[in-house]
Amino acid sequence: MDPDCQNLTGQIVGSPVIADGTYQVIRTEDPRVAWLQQGGDTVGYMVSRTGTDRAFFKTSSEAQAYEHKGETIKLVGKIILITLIVGIVVFAVAAGASSEANSNVVTTRCTTFGVTTTCTSR
């Protein structure tokens, strides 16, 4: 590990994807993607997603695509959930306001000169 605790050198043995050997794992600007080098040559990119999901790719573009895989579905789900919550709150407030407005209504029947009228006052 380097003095900044950002990069490390270590051995990989028994990986089905990466040949046995000594490698440098170098952090990139993206905290989920690490650059894998052996003897100064780029071997590929390691991606670490939320949880224990990790993968190795030969190109940076593949690594970036994998890192963001599934994020659109999560975002759409969050938007739908927030919309439902806001809708429920608005409905509850409107229902409360409506029942409060109707709680002070007085309905009376008035008869004058043989004409009957229903009067409502709030």
Residue % of the chain over a pLDDT of 90: 0
**Residue given tokens 């229902």 in the structure block:** 95
What is the extent of the structural domain holding 19?
1-88
Per-residue pLDDT, 52: 61
- The count of domains in the chain is 1
pTM as predicted = 0.49
Model confidence pLDDT, tens digit, residues 11-27: 888 888 788 888 888 88
Tell me the pLDDT band of 98, cut-offs 50, 70 and 90.
Answer: low
107, part of any domain: no
Note whether residue 98 is domain-resident: no
| CA–CA distance, 64 with 7 (Å, rounded to integer) | 19
**What's the rounded mean pLDDT across residues 110-114?**
69
